[in-house]
Amino acid sequence: MNLEKSFRVLFLSLFVVVVFAKLANATQEIKKWLRPENIPVPVDNKITPARVELGKLLYFDPSLSRDGTISCANCHNPLMGWSDNQPKAIGVEGREGPRNSPTVLNTAYQIRQFWDGRAKTLEEQALGPIQADVEMDMNLDFLLSKLNKNMGYVALFQRAYPSEGITDKTLAKAIATFERTIVSTEAPFDKFIQGDKEFISKSAQDGFKVFIGKAHCADCHDGFNFTDGSFHNIALGGRDEGRYKIKKRAAWFHAFKTPTLRDIVKSAPYFHDGSVKTLKEATTICATGGRYPNGKNISTFIKDRNLSETEIDNIVEFMKTLSGKTLTVLIPTKFPQ
């Protein structure tokens, strides 16, 4: 009898341990999809209202471009998913850039900026497009001199960065601070993942299961921001060498950063070359091994996953649930003089 009792106690203990382990694992699995409470901020550039206000003015001010026609917002428009709904970025004098404008949304959470990840921080990224000849084509020294003569901006910089002056560093910090506040709003998926199942349709729920399971989308489109920041050659073809241009590392040949899927319905067309108009086509390309599966250095993450058309449609339905209300931003129409 004693032996039998001992076995019962042992069995019950094991059962409790297994149940708790499974619950802990499930909680951990759900936790990674939850919206973080805070925006990551660098120690030397805390977010303050004065910095956000200044950064917003600079972001929308076309006088930061060489001919006064283009602001950051031309290619990263709040009404177009913080992108521009064009295949390639268009800069001063209608010059076409080599890549699709990536969304600014949730870049605060990314550890590499640009499609090729050449900047580690938003501060490093901010001055690139201002100076690029196919974007704003502005001479930085000239711009800093111009801003230093603008009494409105002088006062705003003084308020935002007391005693630091108007320099390349404070210019970058201010723009980066505004960009850091551009975060996605609560989407139906966020309600669903917290337990309110009715917030997304049955097909979207099925799509999420395929997304994290059979289709392996979440191997890269992982976590709250639906990207782990990883670099892949997804077999689109084309001459753009991507991250390989920065350093000739074999794994970076034609590799580009995994984009966020937050608010993804708002920022078509898709991929670094803007070559795809619909989410269905984009999903089909990723889930069938890419456009040119026999190319060099094709990511091992890009494979034919044998998805049915219904499964692809369901994934698209699921991705639609990642869009929240467009962030309310009062777009400035008057700029400091």
Partner 1 sequence: MNRVPILILVVLSFLGAKDYIVDQKSKTFLPAKISAKVGDRLVFKNSDSFSHNAYSDDEKNEFDIGMQSPAQDIAVELKAPATIAVECAIHPNMLLTVEVK
Contact call for residue 228 and partner 1 (CB under 8 A): yes
Q: Which of 252, 256, 270, 271 binds partner 1 (CB under 8 A)?
A: 252
Residue among 136, 139, 154, 107 nearest 337 (CA): 154
Active-site hit among 135, 179, 311, 317: 135
Decide whether 43 or 250 has the Cβ nearer to partner 1.
250
**Residue ranges in 41-100 that form contacts with partner 1 under rule CB under 8 A:** none
Assign 255 to helix, strand or coil.
strand
Q: Which of 249, 277, 296, 325 binds partner 1 (CB under 8 A)?
A: 249
Contact 258, 232 (CB under 8 A): yes
| Cα 196 off chain centre by | 26
Q: What is the DSSP letter of 145?
A: H
Q: How far is the CB of 233 from partner 1 (least distance, A)?
A: 10
Contact call for residue 300 and partner 1 (CB under 8 A): yes
Among the listed ranges 34-42, 226-234, 275-283, 323-331, the one in contact with partner 1 (CB under 8 A) is 226-234
Q: How far is the CB of 252 from partner 1 (least distance, A)?
A: 6
Residue type, 245: K
| Burial of 148 per CB tally in 10 Å (0-12, 13-18, 19+) | middle
Q: 């019962």: which residue's tokens?
A: 8
Contact call for residue 231 and partner 1 (CB under 8 A): yes
Residue 135 appears among annotated catalytic residues: yes
**Residue ranges in 93-122 that form contacts with partner 1 under rule CB under 8 A:** 111-112, 117
Contacts for 87 with CB less than 8 Å, ≥ 6 apart: 100, 269, 273, 274, 275
Contact call for residue 229 and partner 1 (CB under 8 A): yes
Contact call for residue 232 and partner 1 (CB under 8 A): yes
Contacts for 156 with CB less than 8 Å, ≥ 6 apart: 50, 53, 54, 57, 336
Q: How far is the CB of 129 from partner 1 (least distance, A)?
A: 21
Q: Hey, what's the torsion of the CAs at 239, 245, 249, 254, to 10 degrees?
A: -30
Decide whether 3 or 250 has the Cβ nearer to partner 1.
250
Q: How far is the CB of 26 from partner 1 (least distance, A)?
A: 16
Residues known to be catalytic: 135
Q: Which residues bind partner 1 (CB under 8 A)?
A: 111-112, 117, 216, 219, 222, 228-232, 249-252, 299-301
